Amino acid sequence: MHRGGLNSAAMHFTQQCIHQPVATRNTMSTLPNCPKCNSAYTYEAGTLLTCPECAHEWSRSEASGQEDARVWKDANGNILQDGDTVTVIKDLKVRGSSSVVKGGTKVKNIRLVDGDHDIDCKIDGIGAMQLKSEFVRKA
C-alpha cells in the first residue's frame, strides 16, 4: 500500500546508486519476483502477492512450493539425492588449478546445493569441489 507510491522513486534510486541501504535490500528480497513479468516490485495484499506492473496475483504458498520442488537430475535425467555416488561423464577442468577430473571418475557421497554448480563433493586426489549435475551420471 504505502510501497505502491515508492515504486518509481525506488527505480530511479537503483539506477543512480548501487549502494542501497541494507534495510531496503532486505525488504525487497523477502518477496519473490513476479512469476509472469519478473518484476521485483511485488507487494503483499493479504495472503496474496501482487505485481504492480502486470497486475498478476498469486499466493505466497504457491511461490514457495515451486522452490521446494527443485530436483537434481543427472545427464540421463535420473534424480540425484544427497549421499549418492556418481560418475563424471567427461573431463572437467578444475577452476583455479591445472587439475582435471577425468571422465569416469567416481564421486562418492555428493551433496546437492543450489547454484550454477549444484553438487558439492570431495574427489580423491583433488579435494572439495563443485560439479554440475549435467556432467555426472548416477553410479
| Residue 53 half-sphere exposure toward CB, CA atoms < 13 A | 13
Q: How far is the CB of 11 from Zn ion (least distance, A)?
A: 14
Q: How far is the CB of 47 from Zn ion (least distance, A)?
A: 18
Residue 13 or 43 having the CB closest to Zn ion? 43
Residue 37 or 79 having the CB closest to Zn ion? 37
Q: How far is the CB of 36 from Zn ion (least distance, A)?
A: 4
| 39 to 20, 42, 80, 90, 126: CA distances (angstroms) | 18, 7, 32, 38, 42
Q: Is residue 75 within 8 Å of 134, Cβ to Cβ? A: yes
Interacting residue ranges for Zn ion, rule: CB under 5 A = 34, 36-37, 39, 51, 53-54, 56
